[in-house]
Amino acid sequence: MKLEDWSSEAIAIDFVNKEDWPERRAKLPEPTVRLAELVGFDAKAGSVFFAPDAGGAPRVFFGAEGKQPKPRDPFFAGKLATALPKGLYRLGDGVEAPGEAALAFLLSSYAFSRYKARKSEAPRLCAPQGVDRARVERIAAAVALGRDLVNTPTNDMGPEALAEAALALGAKHGATSRVIVGDALLAENFPLIHAVGRAAAQAPRLVEFEHGPDDGLRVTLVGKGVCFDTGGLDIKPSSAMALMKKDMGGAATALSLAAMLLDGETPIHLRVLLPIVENSISASAFRTSDVYRSRKGLSVEIGNTDAEGRLILADALAYASETPPDLLFDFATLTGAARVALGPEIPPFYTGDEGLADEIAAKAAAANDPAWRMPLWDSYDSGLDGKISDLVNVTSGPFAGSITAALFLRRFVADPARWAHFDVYCWNPSTKPGRPEGGEIQAARLLYDLIEARIEQREAHS
């Protein structure tokens, strides 16, 4: 995911809209005006018009979204990546946020090509002058890494392959890594991860890597890595199973954010924990009504084997809390209830800290990486109390599924004021600017900005 060196020979792209097009058109050469009328170009949002400039060189006019009250989609410029023919282009007049436009172009240029080659050569964009090119490319490349992981089907992205991808990222940057596999999970006290993944052909595992100075801001990322979710013995219907290759999207999100931080040499102490399993069905599958002792010591009764993600996260969050970080973020494609509430584009997040919640909301808006705070509603917490165990993994009622899942996770976090949980979807049902259909990474970009801001604050007070 690269931008090209800036070149005056590249074809310029001018952004226009219906409001300013009449004034702009009046300044164009007469042949260009006549050509615009002939093809019916009126600066409609998303439209593209090729015409020669006064010197005869080709120029592109792109119908951007109107300015009032504000553009609906800050990534609208990403449409250019699929609307333009091959060639080298540069941003011209009328572009108010060139860095955002360049990132949108790269994010829209993404194509998953592991099994099928692109049909045509993609257009290329010059790095806008004055924009932090390295940062734009770093973010786009990290998102592409995560999208590739989510898009890859489980026959090529099972627990072994996902673990290898995580270890490769850590090794690239000299991180200290380890992986705990199979029955070694029991020996090292990760019973819930083992229970969920033991029925699969590939053994469950926990991947851990650390990087950075011990005295740096301590950030721990935990990502749900369910490489495929049949639902277990509480098997899903085929319609609900169709996209379950993406159930490792939480792990992909953690790795995407880790890649941004590591590639940018962000001065933090980064720790990544990925519980990785396949929720399969066999004679050794865990069952509804089974009771397991978690790493934290709490006993958990299984009310539904399709609520497996919170189980593997519980052990990982308890482990993360044993070495308390300054910031603890977990990511999981956890509940359908989150989609009912907010749809596929907006992941809910939960935290016990008002200041952190405000930071997340502000960075989400600024980065066009939406997230919406949902409450850790304490009166719902008692629904998780077990009759023969400390707690159950699902409540008995049909309501507030995303909230109760977050409340379940909170029981395994030592300091909820430093923690935020993101119930991500990690999939675009259809193509929109900056967001091609298929696997998606949500919340990583906003947290990259947040962590950088925390470092600046820390340095200012040191």
Q: Is 245 a catalytic residue?
A: no
398 Cβ contact list (under 8 Å, min separation 6): none
Cβ pair 424, 347 in contact under 8 A: yes
Length of the chain: 462
Report residue 132: phi and psi, to 5°: -75, 90
Does residue 246 have an active-site annotation?
no
C-beta of residue 245 within 8 angstroms of C-beta of residue 438: no
Closest CA to 99 of 135, 124, 147: 135
* Catalytic-role residue among 310, 363, 410, 445: 310
- The Cα 292–Cα 39 span in angstroms is 68
Neighbouring C-beta atoms of residue 123, cutoff 10 Å = 19
Q: What are phi and psi of 96, to 5 degrees?
A: -80, -30
Burial class (CB in 10 A: 0-12, 13-18, 19+), 424: buried
Q: Can you tell me the distance from the alpha carbon of 1 to that of 140, in angstroms, rounded to the nearest whole number?
A: 6
One of 25, 236, 432, 458 is an active-site residue; which one? 236
Q: Looking at the annotation, which residues are catalytic? A: 236, 310
